[in-house]
Amino acid sequence: MTDYYELLGVSREATQEELKKSYRQLAMKYHPDRNAGDKASEDKFKEISHAYSILSDPEKRAHYDRFGTADGFGANQGPFTGGAGFGDIFEDFFGDIFGGNFGGHRRQRAAKGNDLRYDLDISLEEAVFGTEKVITFPKLQKCGECNGTGSEPDKQPEVCSACKGSGHIRYQQGFFSVSKTCGKCYGTGKIITNPCKKCKGQGFIQEQRTVNLKIPPGVDAGSRLKIVGEGEPGVNSGPNGDLYVILDIQEHELFKREGTDLFCDFPISFTNAALGAEIEVPTLDGSAKLKIPAGTQSGKIFTLKGKGAPRIGSQQRGNQLIRVFIEVPKKLSLRQKELLEEFAAHSTDDTNKSFKDKLKDLFTGVEG
């Protein structure tokens, strides 16, 4: 696993200013605009940008230092998440000359937490008729002991003496006012002198979260259900991310699904196929009667209307298509053999006549 500190060429004790300086130098060196067509430089730029997006955020950095990964803040994070793209290079580069954010206050903004993903297998019946599920998954949650402050309950975080709680250090550079992120509190404006024992000063702990999920009728493999606010906690009082549940449908022993239609192969006897019959066939709603006309051939497809799956948000259902095949008995009694032999003796050769006619037409004119 790549070490973000090593990637940026700094120590684990590096201040935010040291991180920013190193990142800026590397980003300017590997930026695609300066290395047109160089895939290696482009990949390097993405790697250092992603590393800086983690280490430049105090909460993500603390989580990374503790767990050695940023996965706890969401698995769908792209290489430029966290504001470490070319905008930061532009702002940092010109900030040194013109005064950082052009004389304004660049404060820590409230940001929505990262989204989470949960993969769930359900049966075909549950997909067609809908169901309710209880799912449990790990997620970062605000520490209940310190209420997310990271400090012992009876010890509130102290105001940073360096920035006086603003999160930034301001000073004059010529005619311009320069605002830089405070290197002592990492822009939070607070110093934790008595870390919470439960969360080790992080303000968040990973716990098992249980939620009830309602699955509507008609979902299919790949359907995505969104549960608002069940993702990772927001940053600086920002809203929580969302949880996305991705559905997969288990293979059914009888039915196959294509869109809103269900397909089923069903065996019938030779006598039912020849003489005709009314048989019972399976559906997801229970058994249903199906009329087999006399002379039905193997492979014939019958349709049961309204016995398929609905579309999401609609009560109208697709169809069930039943393909019959003639099942030949493996063992016959003596009497059955006698009857079949008698049947064969009284049969004409019409059974294969059409097929033989096709063969005759196919080979007509072929020279020997």
Last residue of a domain, one of 214, 236, 251: 251
Whether residue 331 is contained in a domain is answered as yes
118 plus 225 within the same structural domain: yes
**For position 353, which CATH number holds?**
2.60.260.20
Whether residue 21 is contained in a domain is answered as yes
Please enumerate in sequence order all residues whose Cβ is within 8 A of that of 306, keeping only pairs 6 or more positions apart, or say none: 316, 317, 318, 319
The domain of 298 spans 256-363
235 plus 129 within the same structural domain: yes
Whether residue 39 is contained in a domain is answered as yes
Q: Are 132 and 215 in contact (CB under 8 A)?
A: yes
**DSSP character string of 266-291:** EEEEHHHHHH-EEEEEEETTEEEEEE
Residues 294-321: tens digit of each pLDDT: 999 999 999 999 999 999 989 899 999 9
Last residue of a domain, one of 191, 214, 241: 191
Q: What's the pLDDT at 77?
A: 37
241 plus 144 within the same structural domain: yes
- First-to-last alpha carbon distance for the chain, in angstroms, is 73
Please enumerate in sequence order all residues whose Cβ is within 8 A of that of 239, keeping only pairs 6 or more positions apart, or say none: 112, 113, 229
Residues in the chain with pLDDT < 50? 74-107, 368
Kindly give the pairing relationship between strand 116-122 and strand 256-258: unpaired
For residues 212 and 73, what is the distance between their CA atoms, to the nearest angstrom? 23
- How many C-beta neighbours within 10 Å does residue 2 have? 9
Q: How far is CA 365 from the centre of its chain?
A: 62
Furthest-apart CA atoms within the chain: distance in Å:
114
8 plus 50 within the same structural domain: yes
Whether residue 103 is contained in a domain is answered as no
216 plus 314 within the same structural domain: no
Helices (H) and strands (E) in the chain, counts: 9, 15
144 plus 265 within the same structural domain: no
How many independent structural domains does the chain possess? 4
> Which residue's entry shows tokens 């098992």?
208
146 plus 20 within the same structural domain: no
Whether residue 105 is contained in a domain is answered as no
Taking alpha carbons only, the member of 116, 123, 122, 115 closest to residue 137 is 116
For residues 119 and 222, what is the distance between their CA atoms, to the nearest angstrom? 10
Whether residue 242 is contained in a domain is answered as yes
**For position 50, which CATH number holds?**
1.10.287.110
138 plus 206 within the same structural domain: yes
Q: What's the pLDDT at 173?
A: 59
Q: What's the pLDDT at 263?
A: 97
245 token code pair: 């549940």
Whether residue 309 is contained in a domain is answered as yes
Last residue of a domain, one of 234, 251, 268: 251
Whether residue 90 is contained in a domain is answered as yes
Q: What's the pLDDT at 269?
A: 92
Q: What's the pLDDT at 224?
A: 94
Q: What's the pLDDT at 182?
A: 84
Taking alpha carbons only, the member of 203, 177, 238, 196 closest to residue 58 is 203
Taking alpha carbons only, the member of 253, 233, 252 closest to residue 243 is 233
Q: What percent of the chain has pLDDT over 70?
A: 81
Q: Are 114 and 74 in contact (CB under 8 A)?
A: yes
Q: Are 47 and 2 in contact (CB under 8 A)?
A: yes
60 plus 83 within the same structural domain: yes
Q: Which residues are paired to 169 by β-bridges?
A: 180
For residues 164 and 208, what is the distance between their CA atoms, to the nearest angstrom? 38
187 plus 210 within the same structural domain: no
9 plus 40 within the same structural domain: yes
64 plus 117 within the same structural domain: no
